[in-house]
Amino acid sequence: MRTHRCGELTAADAGSSVTLCGWVHTRRDHGGVTFIDLRDRSGLVQVVFSPEISLAAHAAAEELRGEFCVQVQGSVAARRSGTVNPRLATGEVEVAAHELTVFSRAETPPFQVDGHGEIEETLRLRYRYLDLRREHMRDNMLLRHKIISAIRRFFDAEGFVEIETPMLTRSTPEGARDYLVPSRVHPGDFYALPQSPQLFKQLFMVSGLDRYYQIVKCFRDEDLRADRQPEFTQLDMEMSFVDIADVLDVTERMFKFVWREALGVALDDFVRMTYGESMERFGVDKPDTRFGMELTDLGDVFAGTEARVFRAALDDGGAVKCVTLAGRADMGRKDLDALVDEAKSLGAGGLVWAGVTAEGIRSPVDKFFSDDERAGLVKVAGAEEGDLILIVADGDPGVVYKVLGALRNRLADRHGLIPERAKSDPEAWKFVWITDFPWFEYNEAEGRWDPIHHPFTGVVEATKDYLETDPGRVVSKAYDITLNGWELASGSIRIHDRVMQERVLSALGISDEEAQARFGFLLNAFRYGAPPHGGIAPGIDRIVALAAGESNIREVIAFPKTQSATDPLTGAPAPVDDAQLKLLHLRSTAPAPPEN
Ligand code: ASP
């Protein structure tokens, strides 16, 4: 039906006859001549309907309106100088139309497909097929394809095989709530949609498949945020006979390949940082290293202090730390009070601010500081005249990290501390490997130890005997990749020894019976010659969002769910009728919808 794509025509095509198909992007009438911009996936080209070229086509163009779907036959002509449009890739040419076929008319769309303004998101999602016609969404979808295609080419070349794992399965181990699917043939039983293919990919290693990957949907019934969706896509991979360095090496080369193919950027080597270092310097385990303002420890400066809050925190085995906001010593009282409130809402008991001025320190607690402490504070914080030091003290060092880590990111945003860089600049992409995570974290609410990664994560040999005595000191063989403050991937070298796996499960308080019931198939597989293995699972939606410069993953997912896990397009989730429920041996306890 067509000979060319709209966006591909260039001056070199002048004189040739073409047939184009697409949508009317815009239409203008000018001196008895009708101009349209015709759009397809590749871009726009101007089409001219003039009575001098074809009376019939010109007359037919009368009825054209935005978003009509049409076919145009015509000849390509170079535009006269002065009418060249440098903002359009095809701006040097236009198509003189000889014939027009209207495939379908269009009603006035609920929002402008050619506009750039903000459109309410629910409306966009309800008419997603129109939203996807818009340039930036089309670009995001094409970028997503480019990235996934580059990933597949990379893994193919490295000898990985792509194999699917089941969607209807048992609850899997990532620790979130499951989406369940009732079984019709087994009354009262449910499948769970996979939170990840974790156990299956480990079984592939036991089966000798050696190197596996899959671009796969995963499901987690969690509270949603900008970087989370109930269903999301992972690049899941696993390899045998490897240690940490091998997985890091393949994964890093994969990211470099993808960035080169999809964005044309030659990435620098990724920085490697232990979890401990990341917490000390940035307060978080996904550090944004595009700007400084690192956390500084003030424990030595205030070791002998009489200032009450600092004294109490240090005596409790806690920490006193600060970040320094350059050039803001003159911040007004209202803004400072707001910062204190913000720190409190993040969990701090309070926030001590100290402005470094020519006259000395400006701070509500200055009178409690000794001269040595004043001098030490400025020196250790690396502050200069005009800077604002923000100090948090707490008996629990975790609180200090959490509050200063969050403030550091928010202040950088608010005060524009993150340098604007072109996507082509390698400095725009701060990839960091985080390693040496603790294996366990204590769950206060439940009074038990939980895995920071998942229960199949390997244990660093030298720390394995703490499993029974002091779980908090066990170090895991897990690693994360972070990019510009986002977690992009988690992975680990796994346990492949059955006895070791059972020790870990028992440290988690999982009884033998429960372990057998939930993961017995994996434990049994370990009886038959399991190789050392490990892998990782980068989140595709986050990768594409960052590569596209979007701050929300919904912008790079064709049909995402809203913040409340609904789909305005299809109306999912939706009630089903009683007959269907009955077949599935279910009865709803939800209140009936109001009659109308
Ligand atoms: N299954 C893990 C996850 O989804 C990733 C991995 O350990 O490979 O986070």
pLDDT digits (tens, 9 = 90+) for 313-354: 999 999 999 999 999 999 999 999 999 999 999 999 999 999
Q: What is the mean pLDDT of residues 459-470?
A: 96
- 174-192 pLDDT, tens digit per residue, is 788 999 999 999 999 999 9
Residue 491 Cα to ligand 1 middle (Å): 5
pLDDT of residue 224: 78
To test the pocket of ligand 1, the residue of 196, 494, 540 to mutate (highest count of ligand atoms within 8 Å of its CB) is 196
Residue 540 Cα to ligand 1 middle (Å): 13
Residue 196 Cα to ligand 1 middle (Å): 7
**Which residue's alpha carbon is at the smallest distance from atom 4 of ligand 1?**
196
pLDDT of residue 591: 83
Residue 428 Cα to ligand 1 middle (Å): 27
pLDDT of residue 524: 96
- Residue 430's contacts (CB-CB under 8 Å, 6 or more residues apart) are 271, 288, 289, 290, 483, 484
Q: Which of 172, 222, 229, 181 is nearest to 202 (CA)?
A: 172
**Which residue's alpha carbon is at the smallest distance from atom 9 of ligand 1?**
490
Tokens of 292: 């400084």
Residue 237 Cα to ligand 1 middle (Å): 9
Q: What is the mean pLDDT of residues 98-108?
A: 98
Residue 539 Cα to ligand 1 middle (Å): 10
Q: Which of ligand 1's atoms lies nearest the C-alpha of 237?
A: 8
Tokens of 252: 């890093």
Tokens of 167: 């969607």
To test the pocket of ligand 1, the residue of 453, 457, 488 to mutate (highest count of ligand atoms within 8 Å of its CB) is 453
**Which residue's alpha carbon is at the smallest distance from atom 8 of ligand 1?**
536
pTM: 0.94
Q: Which of 3, 19, 14 is nearest to 84 (CA)?
A: 14
Percent of the chain residues topping a pLDDT of 70:
99
Stretch (H or E) spanning 394 = strand 388-394
SS3 of 503-525? HHHHHCCCCHHHHHHHHHHHHHH
3-state helix, strand, coil in the chain (%, to 5): 35, 25, 40
Q: Which of 147, 143, 141, 158 is nearest to 237 (CA)?
A: 158
What residues does ligand 1 touch, defined as CB less than 6 Å away? 174, 196, 198, 490-492, 535-537
pLDDT of residue 274: 98
- 135-154 pLDDT, tens digit per residue, is 999 999 999 999 999 999 99
Model confidence at 596: pLDDT above 70 = no
Residue 199 Cα to ligand 1 middle (Å): 10
- 233-290 pLDDT, tens digit per residue, is 999 999 999 999 999 999 999 999 999 999 999 999 999 999 999 999 999 999 999 9
Q: Is 23 left (phi over 0), alpha (psi -120 to 50) or beta?
A: beta
